[in-house]
Structure formats: C-alpha cells, structure tokens
Structure 1
Amino acid sequence: MFTIRSLLDNPDLGLRLLVEGRAGALDERVVWVHNTELTDPSSYLGERELVLTNGMWLAQAGAEEFVGNVVGAGAAGIVFGLREQLPRTPRAVIDACATAQLPLVEIAVGVPFTAVTRAAAGHYAAMRQSGLLGMVRRGDALATALSHGAGASGVLEVLRRDYDVPLVVVDRAGRLLAAAGADTTVEQRRAVAERLGDHPPPLEIDFGDGRVASVFLVGAIGDLDAALLCLRPLRELGDGERAALEQAARFLSLEVAKQQAVHAIELRFASELLDMILSGPQRSGEVPGRLRAFGVDPGGSLAVVALAFMGAGAPTLPGLAEAVMEFFLAENSPAAVAGGTGDVVAVVPWRRPDSDLRDLAARLAHAVDGQFPGHRTVVGIGGSVENSAGLKQPLVRSRDACQVLRRRGGTPVATFAELGTHRLLLGLQDADTLRDFADVVLGPLREHDAQRGSELVRTVQAFLEHGGQWAATAEALFVHVNTLRNRLAKVTELTGRDVARTEDRVDLYLALEAAEFYG
C-alpha cells in the first residue's frame, strides 16, 4: 500500500518528517500526489491525495488558511519543497500542520517533485504487478484444488492462506457447501437462500446478531446458485481481499455447476428407480442393479418410507431430498432417495423388526424439521419386504400413508396399517369433495338439531360406535330404546338413509369420519 511512510523509507528522496500528524496517519493509504500553489486547492484535491507545494501561496495567504483548506479537502498530508529563496520550512506552516494533526514532510532543494511522482508511480506499478502475480498464483492454486477434487472447501483453504477472513459458502437451498473460520446457523443459511432470490441480490446480509456478511455471488449454468460469504462488512475489506473473494467466487461457480450436474443425475437416477418398482414385472429386472448403484443390497430385507411437509398440496422445497440423504449418511446407512413434486421416498436396508421403523421415521422427521424451520414433516411407513422383488407394495403404502398424514395432521409418523383402510381412502380424496359429501349426508340432521335442540347426529354416532346394538346405544345415550327408535326413524326421514341397511350405515359412518377428518 502506498503511504507517506513508504515515501519516507525511500532513501533516494531524502525526505524529512516535520509533523507526524494524528496517530496512524503515516500508514494510511495515499491515493496519489497533487502539485499546487493555490491558496485554496480544495476544489481540485481528491480525498487521500498528498499535496506537493513550494509555498508560493505564502504571499497571498497565511499558513493556517492554506492548511485548513487542505484538511477540508481530506488530503493525506503535505510535502513542502524547499527552494533557494526559502531554504527552511516556515515555522507557521509547521505549527499549522501540528495544530491540524496533518502530516508534514520536507523535501530538499535539490530534489524535484517529479521524483516523488515517479516514486508514487513506481509503487503503484509494483502493487499492480504484485496483485496480478498474486491473482495468477492464486488462480493456479484454485484450479489445482478443484482438479484434485478438493471442492468448495479447497477453494476456501486457498483463500485462507492469503487472508485471515471467516468464510462460508451457501447454496440457494440454504445448504452449507463449505466453511472456514466461521459458523452459521440453519436459520442464517435459510436467510441467505431467501436473500439470493432478491432482485438485485444483496451486497451484504445482516444476520441480526451483530454480524454482517459481505456477499460474493456464485453463478452456475447461467443462474445464481450460491454465495460466498465473508462474515465481515464490505467496508472492512481491502481491495486485495475483495479481488481475491471475487476471483474465488468465479472458481466456485465451476464447482457448484459440477455439483448440480451430478446431483441432477443422482435425482433422475433415483426417480427412475421408483418408476421401475411401480412398473411391476416389465422392469423388475432393472431394480437390483439400480439399488446396488446406491449401495443398497437388493437381496436383503428392505424398508420404504415416504416423507413430505404437512398440508395438502404443500410442495417439496429445494434441499429436502438432500436433507434425507444427509440423515441416512449420519445413520451410516446406504439409501436410495428419490424426490418428487409431492414427497421424498427412501428405500433402505432393514434387518430389524418392523416396529423399529417408527423410531427411524420419527428421528428422520425430527432431523428434517431442524433443516426447515417453520415446516412440519410427516413420514409414512410402508413396511419391509424380504428383497427388492416385493418393493411395489411398501412403496405404494408409504406414499399413500404420507398423503393421508399431510391432510389429516396430528401424529407426524404412521404406518399404512395404523391409518385403517377407510381413513386411508378418505385421506386420498379431495378435501372439498369430502366436505360436500359430509354436508349432504349430515346437513339435514345438523339443521334439525340446531332448530329443535335434538341430538340426531350424536345418536347416529353412538349407534354406529356400539355396532348397531339398540340396548347398548340407548344405555350410552341415557334414553329409552323406543326413544332411540324414534330418533333413528327421524334420521331416515331426513336423510333417506336407513341404519338397518348396510350401505346406508356405510354412508353415515363415512360422512361422520369425513367431518372429523377435515374438521
């Protein structure tokens, strides 16, 4: 960096320091040098420029006025050039600079200002050359790291050799791709992912905990796919640090593009596995090979679970399949994980009792919830089979159970069998359709109850809960059997459905279940 001290350290200039100025002023950056004899050069001076003057202005202005104008322009300091007519720097100039805490340097009569200008030019040329050489060297190191498979972590390692800055790389799904000297929470990475969707993207992100991160965008295949974050504000980064971070972001684009391509292939590979399983005998011969590609033994016992976010129609978010993969990696278990528009399915080796699948599913739901704050995860358990030949049934069951859980709420984990056949069928229907069905069947009874204070809906429910037994139902309702018969006769009159007929009982039962199912 070009500073007043760097000029003082140049023996060819023979400079003499007269006023040091405020603390650290000699080591602050100097932008350039400016030669002037104007009494007020402020209109032409740039901030952090070094003023070169012979004091010709002393005939028209006092030292305090000139120095005040120089300070007002934000100059870095003054170099006072001696001449035969003025062999010493005037005391008034020295005192004015001391009062203003502005550095003052004296240059001998025999040394022209051009020598200072050449020194400044040489210094900047050396800085540019050093910067270019550093960029080339760093570029070679970054290319080597990527070619050796070091990935995003290798890129950050190269950066940290030159600059001690805290760094993280986060993609648009909020996943942590690499970190060096910095820690971020799940919520902070989610905030980064959301801000990457801004137009234009931010230059800085305030995490709200006193930390502000500078953002260097990482594009891949024409899109903005990640960000290199330096957990320092931009104003605290030097030019060299910014240039290095921008260079690293360009190299990270190559790594992110490669990861995306590999990830897309893996997801397509896994999705094809589900198609093979569901196709039955036509493609069953391809299933074992595809499972082996994921490290799953097709000849051993296998289990299937399906995962999604709570809420009918809630889409899967970017990174959901990856979160499931990370869970099974942490479990030291191979898994074939496939993501779709509505759920994520995992096929895993399973040599334990099916009862233990519930614990696995609960831990999976908890782990994914931690990755997606504000979302609740449900897991449908399809059960296990002896080998890959029987995967179709548990796959269908797991996805159907997952769909029911998404609509119904309540427990986040359930097996196909636990849901019950009629509840499973209800869960697979459109909510509005079922509400309409319940309203058509139960509406007349609800209206009668509201107007007359009767209990026809409760009576039907109690009758069905007691298996159609008249005496048991009457006892539960604390009414006479004849009263019960009169009530159910009224139900038949209002709904056209007779509890003595099986199909009519089914209608009434499903209507009550649908009303409870969707509130």
Structure 2
Amino acid sequence: MKLRALLAMPELRLEVVTGDDAELDRPIRWVVTTDLLNPGRYLRGRELVLTGLVWRSGPADSETFVRALVDAGVSGLAAGEFALGTIPDDLVDACRRHRLPLFKVPEDVAFATVTEEVVRHLSGARAADLTAVLDRHRRLVEGTGLGAVLDLVGRDLGMRCHVRTATGRLVAGPGLPGAGAAALAGAFLRAPRLPAYAAGLDASILPVGDGAVCRAADWFLACEGDFADWPAERRALTGELGAIVALERARLDDRLSAESHRAQEIVTAAATGGGLGSAGELERSGLAAGVPVVAVAASGRGGIGAGELRTILAEILPAARPVLGLVDDEVVGLVPSPSRHDVAGAIEDALNALAPGFAGGGVAAGVSGTAGSPELRGIVEEARQARRLAATRSASVCVVRHDELATHVLLLASVPDDVREMFRVRLLDPLHAYDKVHGADLVRTLETFLRHSGSWTRAADDLHLHVNSVRYRIQRVEDLTGRDLSRLEDQVDFFLALRLG
C-alpha cells in the first residue's frame, strides 16, 4: 500500500499539505500513533505516523520531531488539529525541508478510524499476495513454466525478476535494464551470504532452494532493488519464489531424460570399448560422422559431487549438446569440435570464473586431442590420464591438455610421493643448506645453467655474473653432491629434482 492510496479513502478525507508525486509513492508497512517528541526508538521504518501535536511546546520542537521520524525511515506523517487548532507553519516547513509527506486529518475524523482503514487495506494486500503465490504454484503445476511465473510477479507486484545460472546464462525472465550477466553471476558466486545486494547493478541476488547445491552448479534469482528496503511480505514472497524455481530446476534436470540415458550409454561404451550404436544414433546424440570430437574428463574435490560437476560441465562445455556421463568417479564428456576450437582453454577460463563458487573445493580436468567417432575409446582414455595428472596438482582449478602426456611431467606424476620426495631431498638439500649458510645462490645458478643447456656464457649473461663465477658455483654443486654436470644423466637428474621442488 502506498501513501497516495490514503487519498482514495473517502471516509478519511485526508489532505496533502506537503509531498510531491514521487514522495507519495512511498509504501506503508504499518500505522503508529504517537505524541512523543522523539519517538524514534519505537519505529521500525515505513510507518504512517499519526500525531495530535501534543509534543509541541515551541517552534524548535517541530525540527526535533520530524528529524526523528526521518531518521527512523517513516513513510509519512498525518497530523490532527486537536491540540493546537491548526497545523503550525514550523511543522510544515520542517516536513518540506526533510521531504517528509504531511497529511492533514480533519477534526471530525478520529485517529482510530484512520488506523482501522489503513490496517484493513494492508491486510487485504497481504491476502492478495498470498493468493498470487498460490496462483503461481497452480500455474507452475499446470506446466506454464518459470516465464509465466515471473511475468505474473512483474505484472501483479511490480517486481522485475529473472533467473540465471552461475555462469550468467538467462534461464527465465526479462532481465534487468543495464545489469551485466557476468557481473551478476560474479556477485552471486562471491557473496559471503545470500540474499545479497549488488549496489552497482541495483539488484538483489537471492538463493534458489535451501543452498545445498554448490553455487557453481546452482541457479539464482535476481530482483530489481535492494531487498533490505522490501517489506516483510515481499521478502517472504521472494523466498517462496526461490522455492518454486528450485522445483523447476529439479524438473528440468536432464539426468532423468531419455537423452541423458543414451549419453551415458555412449560414454560407457567409449570408455570400455563396447558398441557405440549406429551412425544415426550417434548423430542424434550430436556426434555426427566426420566431425572431430574432443574428450573431457573431470573430477571434483572438497565436496563437489559428480552430479554437480556434471551440471557444471553441461553449462560450460563449448558445444550445444555435449554428451556427458559418469565413469567411476569421473564425469566424462564428448564434445563435437568441428572448428577445432580450443576446448581446454574455454574450460579453464570458465572454471576459473566459477571458482569462487566452489566453496573451498576444486576441479581437476583433462582434455584429449581430437578424433573421429570410431576412435572415441582412445581419446576418452587420453582425457582420463590427463585428468589423473591434473589431480596431482594443488591448484583449485587445473586443466591438463593431452600434449602434456608426452613429457617428463607424466612420468613424475606416476611416481609415488615418498619416492619423489626422497629423490629431491638427496640431490637438492645439500645445495639449499649451503645457500642458507653462505648465501651462495647455488640452486638458482644450477637451474639457470640447465635451462641454457649447459652453456657457461648464456648462463653467466642471464645471472649477470662473470663466466668464472658460474664455473666456480657449478664446481661447488658437484663437490656437494658428488655429481658431474658434464654428464647428461646427471644433468637430467638435477633437472627432474628441480621440477619436483
């Protein structure tokens, strides 16, 4: 209910003393009668305050009284003339100065009548809100979807809302004028708690459901304005709307669809070497003959479940219809890549953008090279091997490409941790200890020397040292470790030890 609605109540006959059109659009949450000079402690905001002016003993009191109301966030003031016979000019001036709408209550209209009428209209509005919520439930059950629900909210309640995924993709609703999808998604992922207000976008971001889903795999509700300014009824309504959105999200979960079951069969067959089905079946699944395919394998850690990770991959993979399934504890995807798109780069960028929503967890992913549909088993195995290598690294998001599998990195990853640590300690600990005591920088010199393939001159230039200084340091390395850096096998050992460090 807005202040201007008071003027449409003929039984009250209120007159506007101060207040422009915008000010009369302020909402009324409740009505309070007071004759205290400073009633702020008893007000919560958005009230219509009724007063008989008993508090006024002089002109200065008007400023005190009005400032207390404004500081408390009331919507308007209605004054009767019972005590003074008229509304004093100093009160009118104070209200105009502080932009507080002021109404005059006729002498023959009791405050009890004003209170009764306002409360009756507020109760009617609450009942209308409840009816609207029930109607939205009915329409959703009838299958009209979220678009119709959000249209109703916008039309009936004047509250523009829309639903997006954590990547910013619009699920339903009209969007918000000027609000960037990526900025909204970032605010959703980074908010310490929900609901949250994104001031730069003038949008409130609200959760969907009970928050049990990892945010990076979740949807969110964005509504125009600051939720802190909404009345309690409006906040309750958005909570109900979030629950409805969660139901719709569950209804649309494609893991339950026939297409999803077929995708799982294809992934399982590709991973085990089983029959992939006919060319027509593969094409209907998005794997047309002659179109290159990239395999992706991913696993989550820190509480990111396989189902959530599957949802994330379905959202971020650069294909309209990726074929997704589970193999053991991994999510495996087959991505048509007709233009040989950089699938690994796109996945890495998307996962890094979603990382704030991992709640302390992370994702390890491996990406294969390209192959045709008859060679799916090979690329699936390649992606899974790359994923295993990614899982050995500590980064929150780690994407390993297939070309890393042909380097020493794969060999190092396959060696048990205790063996790798023993190898590194035996070769490098004497150098670290010497550097700590003497500040000799032997480890950096060794690394530079090997990076330049044993060239004394290039290593000296890189270190800004004389060649003889580099020779002296390398000699010291050999003395401390008993190795000979003119021998290729010793150079390789030091190179691997440095990579392990």
User: TM range, normalised to the smaller chain?
Assistant: 0.5 to 0.7
Cα distance between partner residues in 2 of 1:401 and 1:277: 16
- For residue 185 of structure 2, the aligned residue among 189, 193, 201 is 189
Match of 1:78 in 2: 79
TM-score, with normalisation over the residues of structure 2? Answer: 0.62
- For residue 123 of structure 2, the aligned residue among 125, 128, 134 is 128
Match of 1:252 in 2: 245
Q: More displaced, 23-32 or 141-150?
A: 23-32
> Contact conserved, 2:189 with 2:356, CA < 8 A, in 1?
no
Match of 1:482 in 2: none
> Contact conserved, 1:52 with 1:79, CA < 8 A, in 2?
yes
> Contact conserved, 2:203 with 2:223, CA < 8 A, in 1?
yes
Match of 2:145 in 1: 150
The code of the aligned residue for 2:295 comes to: V
TM-score, with normalisation over the residues of structure 1? Answer: 0.61
Cα deviation for residue 509 of structure 1 reads 7.4
Q: Helix, strand or coil: the match of 2:334?
A: strand
Task: Indicate whether 1:514 and 2:500 are aligned.
Answer: no
Cα distance between partner residues in 1 of 2:61 and 2:498: 87
Cα distance between partner residues in 2 of 1:348 and 1:132: 51
Cα deviation for residue 295 of structure 1 reads 0.9
In the alignment, structure 2 segments of 5+ residues that lack a partner are 70-75, 96-101, 455-466, 468-474
Percent identity of the aligned residues?
19
Cα distance between partner residues in 2 of 1:289 and 1:140: 47
Cα distance between partner residues in 1 of 2:302 and 2:7: 68
> Contact conserved, 1:33 with 1:117, CA < 8 A, in 2?
no
Cα deviation for residue 398 of structure 1 reads 2.4
Cα distance between partner residues in 2 of 1:33 and 1:348: 64
Cα deviation for residue 185 of structure 1 reads 4.8
Match of 1:85 in 2: none
> Contact conserved, 2:2 with 2:24, CA < 8 A, in 1?
no
> Kindly tell me: are residues 64 and 298 of structure 1, through their superposed partners in 2, closer, same or farther at Cα, counting changes over 3 Å?
closer
1:320-358 Cα offsets, whole Å, 9 max, x none, are 544543455x544x3223468986532234678xxx47x
> Kindly tell me: are residues 513 and 289 of structure 1, through their superposed partners in 2, closer, same or farther at Cα, counting changes over 3 Å?
farther
Match of 2:17 in 1: 20
Cα distance between partner residues in 2 of 1:291 and 1:285: 12
Task: Indicate whether 1:429 and 2:415 are aligned.
Answer: yes
What are the equivalent positions in structure 2 for 1:101-116 lying under 5 Å apart?
101=95, 103-108=103-108, 113=110
> Contact conserved, 2:259 with 2:285, CA < 8 A, in 1?
no
Match of 1:306 in 2: 296
The code of the aligned residue for 2:208 comes to: V
Q: Helix, strand or coil: the match of 1:219?
A: coil
What are the equivalent positions in structure 2 for 1:1-400 lying under 5 Å apart?
1=1, 3=3, 9-12=8-11, 15=13, 17=15, 20-21=17-18, 29=28, 31-32=30-31, 34=33, 48-51=48-51, 74=69, 76-80=77-81, 94-95=88-89, 97-98=91-92, 101=95, 103-108=103-108, 113=110, 117-118=112-113, 120-145=115-140, 147-148=142-143, 150-151=145-146, 153-169=147-163, 177-178=171-172, 180-182=174-176, 183-186=179-182, 188-195=184-191, 201-203=193-195, 205-207=196-198, 210-211=200-201, 213-220=203-210, 227-238=220-231, 241-259=234-252, 262=255, 274-280=267-273, 284-285=274-275, 292=282, 295-297=285-287, 303-306=293-296, 321-328=310-317, 331-332=319-320, 334-338=321-325, 344-349=331-336, 356=340, 359-372=342-355, 380-388=366-374, 390-400=375-385
How large is the Cα RMSD of the aligned pairs? 6.1
1:489-515 Cα offsets, whole Å, 9 max, x none, are x99x9579xx8xxxxx87x57634532
The code of the aligned residue for 1:254 comes to: L
> Kindly tell me: are residues 94 and 236 of structure 1, through their superposed partners in 2, closer, same or farther at Cα, counting changes over 3 Å?
same
The code of the aligned residue for 1:228 comes to: L
The code of the aligned residue for 2:104 comes to: L
The code of the aligned residue for 1:189 comes to: A
Cα distance between partner residues in 2 of 1:240 and 1:447: 68
> Contact conserved, 2:31 with 2:49, CA < 8 A, in 1?
yes
